[in-house]
């Protein structure tokens, strides 16, 4: 067990630290930045289907569903293809409208999730082309789909998904870029710039992991909180949902993720001096609007922990704590902003003496509905 953990106290921490390598492995053979191309035979062989699709429907559960939501923002922004993201468990029982002009993308780390598998079978029976994004090679979902891409994250043992999430987003980004280039939605120079910035991501994640001690200190301050809010906008709204899920599942602290602007439609009523609020406020995404959301929280005495772009000065003055991430394109920030939240949940769970790798009531792969 100790050898498998590679010197880390828990699989989760090991897997958090494996992300620079996992993302690099996901790029390998696919992103050829020097040649300015993305090579993915599973997309190339089915390019007509993707380019002529009416829409893409993404089906998944849990963390993989959050990756799917990031995918929605990526596909719509980069490739201008309409996307819907569905909980597999709802989709399969809703008598959904699917035609042979729809593409269904199923995302699953384990490749064994019962609801996702059932959603795939339903979509196939209605004539849709189904593409899988899985981590486990040869899994049921990998075999049941018409085509697909592996994430190549390596085995993920901790029940709380970490490197599977970032590598799922990596694959989705590669596909969105490839389709955007193929259908002319992305100008050559924009595509090239994305590839250049993508290539920097593993190194930036590695750098970011050095904030561990800082995040640990913040965790010590908030470990006894009973409720937490996570806020983000745009590409980082799904990261807020994922941050809240990570905290819930391993530390058993109640947490909710919200789009920052939705706060005033309800959750703002919860804010008082006992409420920690984690806000993603990177400098390119609706920055001024998020700053004004932060001010609203401040005026209600909420505690603000903000994830900002390095060098930020505005939020630093208002927030109780800031965590800096390296600069990148807004569309790529989920690969960075998610890291501090993984570390935070990890440290809080350890401080509360919880079973980090095998939280109560949860299984690594959910093969029952």
Q: Which residues partner with 256 through β-bridges?
A: 229
Residue 126 annotated among the catalytic residues of the structure: no
Token pair of 242, please?
């994922």
Minimum distance, C-beta of residue 143 to ligand AGP, in the bound complex (Å) = 15
d(CA 29, CA 26): 8
Give the one residue of 19, 161, 185, 251 binding ligand AGP; rule: CB under 6 A.
161
**Closest by Cα among 164, 144, 175 to 38:** 175
Give the one residue of 26, 89, 116, 309 binding ligand AGP; rule: CB under 6 A.
116
Token pair of 85, please?
């993201």
Residue 151 and residue 26 in contact, taking contact as beta carbons nearer than 8 Å:
yes
* Count of H-run helices and E-run strands, the chain: 15, 12
Contact between 89 and ligand AGP by CB under 6 A: the answer reads no
Give the one residue of 123, 159, 294, 348 binding ligand AGP; rule: CB under 6 A.
159
Q: Which residue is nearest to ligand AGP (CB)?
A: 62
Q: How far is CA 226 from CA 145, 256, 300, in A?
A: 42, 12, 18
Contact between 61 and ligand AGP by CB under 6 A: the answer reads yes
Contact between 204 and ligand AGP by CB under 6 A: the answer reads no
Contact letters (x/-) for ligand AGP, 345-364, by CB under 6 A? Answer: -----------------x--
Nearer to ligand AGP, 40 or 153 (CB): 153
Q: Given the rule CB under 6 A, which of 9-17, 36-44, 107-115, 145-153 is the region that contacts ligand AGP? A: 107-115
Give the one residue of 59, 160, 198, 307 binding ligand AGP; rule: CB under 6 A.
160
The number of beta carbons lying within 10 Å of the beta carbon of residue 233 is 22
**Closest by Cα among 111, 137, 169, 152 to 18:** 152
Contact between 109 and ligand AGP by CB under 6 A: the answer reads yes
Give the one residue of 19, 26, 113, 166 binding ligand AGP; rule: CB under 6 A.
113
- Burial degree of 259 (CB within 10 A; 0-12, 13-18, 19+): middle
Minimum distance, C-beta of residue 156 to ligand AGP, in the bound complex (Å) = 9
Residue 281 and residue 308 in contact, taking contact as beta carbons nearer than 8 Å:
yes
Contact between 243 and ligand AGP by CB under 6 A: the answer reads no
**Closest by Cα among 219, 182, 253 to 37:** 182
Contact between 63 and ligand AGP by CB under 6 A: the answer reads yes
Contacts with ligand AGP, residue ranges (CB under 6 A) = 61-64, 108-110, 113, 116, 159-161, 249, 362, 365-366
Residues involved in catalysis: 364
């Amino acid at each position: 067990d100790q050898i498998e953990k590679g010197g880390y106290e828990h699989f989760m921490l090991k897997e958090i630290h494996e992300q620079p390598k996992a993302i690099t492995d996901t790029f390998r053979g696919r992103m050829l930045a020097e040649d300015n191309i993305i090579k993915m035979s599973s997309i190339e062989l089915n390019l007509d289907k993707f380019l002529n699709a009416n829409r893409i429907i993404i089906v998944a559960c849990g963390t993989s569903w959050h990756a799917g939501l990031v995918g929605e923002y990526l596909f719509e922004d980069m490739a201008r293809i309409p996307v819907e993201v569905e909980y597999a468990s709802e989709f399969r029982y809703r008598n959904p409208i699917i035609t042979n002009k729809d593409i269904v993308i199923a995302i699953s780390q384990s490749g064994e999730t019962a609801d996702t598998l059932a959603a795939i079978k339903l979509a196939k029976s209605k004539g849709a082309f189904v593409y899988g994004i899985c981590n486990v090679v040869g899994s049921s979902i990998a075999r049941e789909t018409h085509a697909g891409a592996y994430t190549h994250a390596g085995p993920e043992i901790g029940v709380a998904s970490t490197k599977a999430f970032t590598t799922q987003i990596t694959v989705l980004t590669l596909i969105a870029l490839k389709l955007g280039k193929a259908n002319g939605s992305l100008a050559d120079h924009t595509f090239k710039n994305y590839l250049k910035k993508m290539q920097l991501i593993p190194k930036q994640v590695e750098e970011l992991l050095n904030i561990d001690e800082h995040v640990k200190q913040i965790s010590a301050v908030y470990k006894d909180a009973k409720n937490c809010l996570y806020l983000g906008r745009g590409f980082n709204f799904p990261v807020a949902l994922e941050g809240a899920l990570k905290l819930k599942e391993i530390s058993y602290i109640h947490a909710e993720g919200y789009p920052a602007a939705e706060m005033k439609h309800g959750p703002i009523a919860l804010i008082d001096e006992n409420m920690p609020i984690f806000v993603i406020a990177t400098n390119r995404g609706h920055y001024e609007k998020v700053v004004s959301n932060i001010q609203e929280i401040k005026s209600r005495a909420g505690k603000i922990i903000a994830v900002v772009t390095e060098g930020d000065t505005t939020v630093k003055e208002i927030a109780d704590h800031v965590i800096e991430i390296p600069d990148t394109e807004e569309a790529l920030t989920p690969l960075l902003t998610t890291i501090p939240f993984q570390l935070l949940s990890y440290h809080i769970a350890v401080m509360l003496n919880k079973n980090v790798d095998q939280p109560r009531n949860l299984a690594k792969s959910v093969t029952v509905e």
